[in-house]
């Protein structure tokens, strides 16, 4: 047996699924998807084949020529779901699984018309990272098991399907009142990158390789916000080499989408909270674009190696911003990230195994230990590699690394072996094993600074001594300036200080979600009542966990607002994505 992934029943010695043909019908009345998944194996095999499922109804399994295949669905594990064991006849290379998803599928969110921008049509979208693909497709749900696919999806005729794949034909469905859409993914992907959405969706081209999809009501706003995507794509190719996914299209999601973005190849998903109206939050798009190389081309073998995806991607995101906007933009971004990392380290505790880059998550739900640690601690380590090797040599290494491992999934140890081969002594020079295998933040963490960053930090750190920003100067601060200043302020302020900030800078009326959330966290911790109505409305408008978790934590941690946290959650839980809802339930049960 070779179950190398602690979060999957996959045993690649039994056989490897290399291609999937999907034919699925979407039923908004029952909140189910029904159909077939035809799995093609790399070579003919016989005997047991274990697949991952979560709450799937398995109706029948056959070989490619229609012979029945015995199967057994194991008991449900809270983390892993249920193992589906097929008993394959000798010489089997294809199996067809007839199944249906559950209305409670953890990867899917079914939205009523009232939860969309247009208020007229329902909406469905998937979010398969980290181990939720098994609730949509019976699969070897491990990053180790990459596959290509063809998909046909049939939906109500008023709706459109988009998918992280190359679109094919669209036409009338087999049943009256339906339409069918086909897609092809010729490049192999790990299961967590399987993604689609169904709704009233339209699009607009932004460049020869990029297109934005949204609901009609959001299209022009989104097209303006992300109009500079072609420049990002060119800057990313300077860092990594050629873009190998043909197109970089993206979909601006409904408000309940739980992440800032999801790097699904050919169709990145983005939160609508990025639509600030001033292009100040497009760094998230740069991050998801960078994933086209670090994550999508070279993928972590398991969730325990997640830092290989995220640490390199944050590093690349900031290199792209540096190329486009200069070193100060990189320094400001690194400072915002460092603040987030410090909060994550404090929340876990300095000795927590989840502050290591290489984790051991066996038996634990990846959603429970998801944090900024692999992102920001990983970024710092990659930056150390760059500093030790020198930029020119490290840039050459990155291109070689991507080319060598493209379309594969690797472990931390495989990365370290390649690093030593190409840049001998660099890992030892920066004490990489301490960074990777030990808890906390080593004392050789690199520092990123600029005159503006130091001014903002000193101003905020002097708050208790009476330092205050000049209202006229503060009015001209950038969104990044405000994020850094608010993050550096004490988490709890006297009510008079809250009132002074709000009266001078109108923070409760702020339209930029990053600034607003940072301010509302302070307001919640401080019990600043003039912001309570905005806290309530904000938590009913957004589904992004980056905002929900710290704001609910602040409310629930303050005796004055604990009851309010419970009430707001009760009012809005049904609108949150299942992944976000589960995380908030854990906060409110602590």
pLDDT tens digits along 227-240: 999 999 999 999 99
Bridge partners of residue 96, in order along the sequence = 38, 62
Instruction: Give me the helices (H) in 180-306, please.
Output: 219-225, 229-240, 283-290
- Confidence at 351, pLDDT banded by 50, 70, 90: very high
> Do 163 and 207 touch, CB atoms closer than 8 A?
no
Distance CA 201, CA 56 (A): 28
- Give per-residue pLDDT as tens, 378-399: 999 999 999 999 999 999 999 9
Tokens of 519: 């301010």
Measured distance CA(284)–CA(290) in Å, rounded: 10
pLDDT band with cut points at 50, 70 and 90 for residue 1: very low
pLDDT in tens, 513-542: 999 999 999 999 999 999 999 999 999 999
Task: Dump pLDDT digits (tens) for 542-585.
Answer: 999 999 999 999 999 999 999 999 999 999 999 999 999 999 99
What distance, in Å, lies between the first and last C-alpha atoms of the chain?
A: 39
Helices 229-240/307-325 angle, 10° precision: 120
Domain annotation for the chain: domains and CATH numbers: 17-111+125-157 (2.60.40.1730), 293-449 (1.10.390.10), 451-588 (1.25.40.320)
| Mean pLDDT estimate for the chain | 96
Contact between 135 and 34 (Cβ < 8 Å): no
Catalytic residue among 99, 259, 375, 576: 375
- Dig out the tokens for 511 from the structure: 């339209």
Among 263, 288, 310, 480, the active-site one is 288
Q: Half-sphere exposure (CA, 13 Å, Cβ side) for 277?
A: 4
CA distances from 526 to 467, 482, 536, 559 (A): 19, 19, 16, 11
Question: Helix, strand or coil for residue 140?
Answer: coil
Q: State the DSSP H helix or E strand holding residue 186, giving kind and residue range, or none if neither.
A: strand 178-189
Q: Cα–Cα distance between 193 and 131 in angstroms, integer?
A: 10
d(CA 237, CA 297): 13
Helix axes 391-405, 412-422, angle to 10 degrees: 130
CB atoms under 10 Å from CB of 91, counted, come to 9
Dihedral of alpha carbons 561, 567, 573, 576, sign = negative
Give residue 590's pLDDT band: very low, low, confident or very high (50, 70, 90).
confident
pLDDT tens, 155-213?
999 999 999 999 999 999 999 999 999 999 999 999 999 999 999 999 999 999 999 99
Helix (H, G, I), strand (E, B) or coil at 183: strand
Dist CA 109 CA 579 (whole Å): 10
Distance CA 212, CA 56 (A): 32
Q: State how beta strands 267-270 and 261-262 pair.
A: antiparallel
Q: Give the other-Cβ count within 10 Å of 417's Cβ.
A: 13
Long-range contacts formed by 341-346: CB under 8 A, 24+ apart: 341/372, 341/373, 341/375, 341/376, 341/377, 341/380, 341/441, 343/372, 343/550, 344/371, 344/372, 344/373, 344/376, 345/373, 345/440, 345/441
**Strands 408-410 vs 298-300: parallel, antiparallel or unpaired:** parallel
The whole-number average pLDDT for the span 358-368 is: 95
CB 512 within 8 A of CB 479: yes
Q: What is the pTM of this model?
A: 0.96
Cβ neighbour number for residue 558 with a 10 Å cutoff: 16
Annotated catalytic residue 375 = yes
Q: Write out the DSSP string of 518-545.
A: HHHHHHHHHT-GGGHHHHHHHHHH---H
547 is catalytic: no
Please determine, for residue 501, whether its predicted confidence score (pLDDT) is greater than 80. yes
- CA angle, 212 then 278 then 229, to 5°: 35
Spatial strand order of the sheet with 261-262 comes to 202-207, 210-214, 249-252, 267-270, 261-262
Pairwise CA distance, residues 161 & 184, whole Å = 13
Q: In this predicted model, what pLDDT tens digit does every residue of 252-307 receive, in sequence order?
A: 999 999 999 999 999 999 999 999 999 989 989 999 999 999 999 999 999 999 99
Name the 3-class secondary structure at 68. strand
Q: Say yes or no to pLDDT of 357 above 60.
A: yes
Altogether, the residues listed in the chain come to a count of 590
């Amino acid at each position: 047996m070779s179950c190398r992934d602690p979060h999957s029943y996959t045993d690649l010695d039994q056989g490897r699924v290399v291609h999937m043909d999907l034919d699925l019908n979407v039923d908004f009345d029952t909140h189910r998807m029904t159909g077939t998944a035809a799995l093609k194996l790399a070579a003919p095999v016989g005997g047991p084949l274990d697949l991952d499922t979560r709450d799937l109804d398995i109706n029948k399994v056959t070989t490619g020529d229609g012979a029945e295949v015995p199967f057994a669905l194991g008991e449900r594990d809270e983390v892993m779901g249920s193992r589906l064991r097929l008993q394959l006849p000798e010489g089997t290379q294809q199996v067809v699984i007839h199944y249906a998803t559950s209305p409670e599928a953890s990867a899917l969110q079914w939205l009523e018309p009232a939860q969309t921008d247009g208020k007229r049509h329902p909406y469905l979208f998937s979010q398969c990272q980290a181990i939720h693909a098994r609730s949509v497709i019976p699969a070897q749900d491990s990053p180790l098991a990459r596959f290509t696919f063809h998909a046909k999806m049939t939906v109500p005729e008023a709706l459109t399907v988009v998918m992280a794949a190359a679109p094919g034909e669209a036409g009338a469905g087999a049943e009256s009142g339906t339409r069918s859409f086909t897609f092809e993914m010729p490049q192999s992907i790990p299961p967590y990158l399987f993604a689609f959405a169904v709704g009233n969706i339209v699009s607009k081209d932004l460049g020869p390789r990029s297109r934005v999809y949204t609901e009609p009501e959001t299209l022009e706003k989104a097209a303006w916000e992300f109009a500079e995507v072609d420049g990002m794509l060119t800057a990313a190719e300077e860092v990594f080499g050629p873009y190998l996914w043909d197109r970089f299209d993206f979909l601006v999601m409904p408000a309940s989408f739980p992440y800032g973005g999801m790097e699904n190849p050919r169709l990145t998903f983005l939160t609508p909270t990025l639509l600030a109206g001033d292009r100040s939050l497009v760094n998230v798009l740069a991050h998801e674009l960078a994933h086209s190389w670090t994550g999508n081309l070279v993928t972590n073998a398991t969730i325990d190696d997640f830092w290989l995806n995220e640490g390199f991607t944050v590093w690349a995101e900031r290199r792209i911003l540096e190329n486009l906007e200069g070193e100060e933009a990189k320094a400001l971004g690194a400072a915002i990230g460092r603040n987030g990392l410090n909060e994550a380290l404090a929340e876990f505790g300095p000795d927590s195994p989840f502050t290591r880059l290489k984790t051991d998550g066996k038996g634990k739900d990846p959603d429970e230990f998801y944090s900024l640690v692999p992102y920001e601690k990983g970024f710092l380590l990659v930056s150390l590699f760059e500093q030790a090797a020198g930029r020119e040599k490290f840039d050459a290494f990155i291109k070689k690394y991507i080319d060598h491992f493209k379309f594969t999934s690797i472990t931390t140890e495989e990365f370290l072996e390649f690093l030593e081969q190409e840049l001998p002594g660099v890992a030892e020079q920066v004490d990489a094993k301490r960074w990777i295998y030990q808890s906390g933040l080593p004392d050789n963490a690199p520092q990123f600074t600029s005159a503006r960053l130091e001014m903002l930090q000193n101003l905020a750190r002097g708050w208790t001594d009476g330092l205050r920003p000049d209202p006229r100067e503060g009015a001209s601060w950038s969104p990044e300036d405000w994020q850094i200043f608010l993050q550096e302020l004490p988490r709890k302020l006297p009510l008079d200080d809250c009132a002074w900030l709000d009266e001078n800078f109108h923070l409760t009326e702020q339209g930029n979600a990053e600034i607003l959330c940072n301010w509302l966290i302070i307001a919640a911790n401080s019990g600043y009542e003039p912001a309570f109505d905005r806290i309530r409305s904000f938590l009913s408008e957004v589904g992004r966990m980056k905002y929900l978790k710290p704001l609910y934590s602040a409310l629930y941690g303050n005796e004055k607002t604990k009851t309010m946290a419970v009430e707001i959650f009760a009012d809005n839980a049904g609108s949150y994505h299942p992944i976000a809802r589960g995380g908030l339930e854990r906060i409110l049960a602590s």
